[in-house]
Amino acid sequence: MMEPIFRVKVPATSANLGSGFDTMGLALSLYNFYDVLALDEPGAYKVEVYGEGAAELEKADVNLIIKSYEQACSEWGMESPGLTIRCLNAIPFYRGLGSSASAIAGGVMIANALREDPLSVEELLPLMVRMEGHPDNIVPCCLGGMVVSCMNGTQLRYVRLPSPPKEISAVVAVPEVHVSTKDARQALPAQISHEDAVFSLNRAALLAASWAVGKWENLTWAMDDRLHQPFRAKLFPGGEEILEEVKKVRGCLGVAISGSGPSMLALTHGSPREVAEAMCRLFTKNNLRSRFFVLSVDEDGATIEKVAEEEEVVA
């Protein structure tokens, strides 16, 4: 197999955690690898995709890694050499696990690696957030851990919270159905009542505060919300039942739609087996096949490593 020039490693992310809509996100120990195999003439792209999304992603002109790479190069006034990229994807595509954020992070980090004066990840974040439209996947994707972020025009503020102890796992159940973020955002009402806004604000504040001090027993309440989940859980079979039932299962600390869905995220303490089983059983009961992952929190965020010298592999 050809040795890459650069290897990018990007984690999956679960945005929102229920009440932290467009604000909080968690990086998870499930990764895509993007290997840059060769640089080429501008406009010449070859993308090989293995694993998740292989059927959808191979057309280079629609590949978000390439779009983000070109956009970053143009933002910095750089020429953008063509690329040959091999994607080894483990993050399910269009399932609410941050596959778009991982592609944007990958594209921008490749462009950055070709700069004469590469920027730090922190300096890259505002551009990436503008490309993604909201910070809650892309910021934890780049930094790792659980992050609370806020974008104000072109400026970004964020706080990375401490990670939970090892006994806490993230169980992600991924059903065999796609829900696009666009459709999931269109399902939201333009207005909600003052009472529902207060309910959601209350849970979001409790979530951030409880996570910061390790009061994990509060998550069952804190991951509840009325801004998006009640509307989105109706978009795929089993969503409403999983939100309602899984929090009662032994070991479950809290459950939420992962990002804009349709994957579901449960945080567990102790053995995650019963929770994983309950989530998949409820999808099956609703005639939807699913698979699950038992993950931990990714601590490192996206990384790029130079593997070989460009001169050795440029055609």
Q: Is 94 assigned to a binding site? A: yes
* Interface size with ligand HSE, residues (CB under 6 A): 12
Binding of ligand HSE by 16 (CB under 6 A): yes
The percent of the chain in helix, strand and coil, each rounded to the nearest 5, is: 40, 30, 35
DSSP string, 286-308: TT--EEEEEE-B-SS--EEEE-S
CB count within 10 Å of CB 103 equals 29
Q: Is 101 assigned to a binding site? A: yes
Place of tokens 């890459």: 4
Residues of span 233-272 touching ligand HSE by CB under 6 A: 259-260
Residue 82-121 contact track with ligand HSE, rule CB under 6 A, x = bound: ----------------------------------------
The least CB distance from residue 257 to ligand HSE, in Å, is 8
Candidates 156-164, 179-187, 215-223, 236-244 — which segment interacts with ligand HSE by CB under 6 A?
179-187
Segment holding 39, helix H or strand E: strand 24-40
The least CB distance from residue 190 to ligand HSE, in Å, is 15
Torsion sign (Cα): 193, 196, 197, 198: positive
The least CB distance from residue 232 to ligand HSE, in Å, is 8
**Closest Cα to residue 223, out of 199, 187, 189, 249?**
199
Instruction: Report the residue from 32, 63, 84, 137 that binds ligand HSE according to the rule CB under 6 A.
Output: 137
The Cα 129–Cα 124 span in angstroms is: 9
Binding residues for ligand HSE (CB under 6 A): 15-16, 21-22, 134, 136-137, 181, 184-185, 259-260
**Binding-site positions:** 92-102
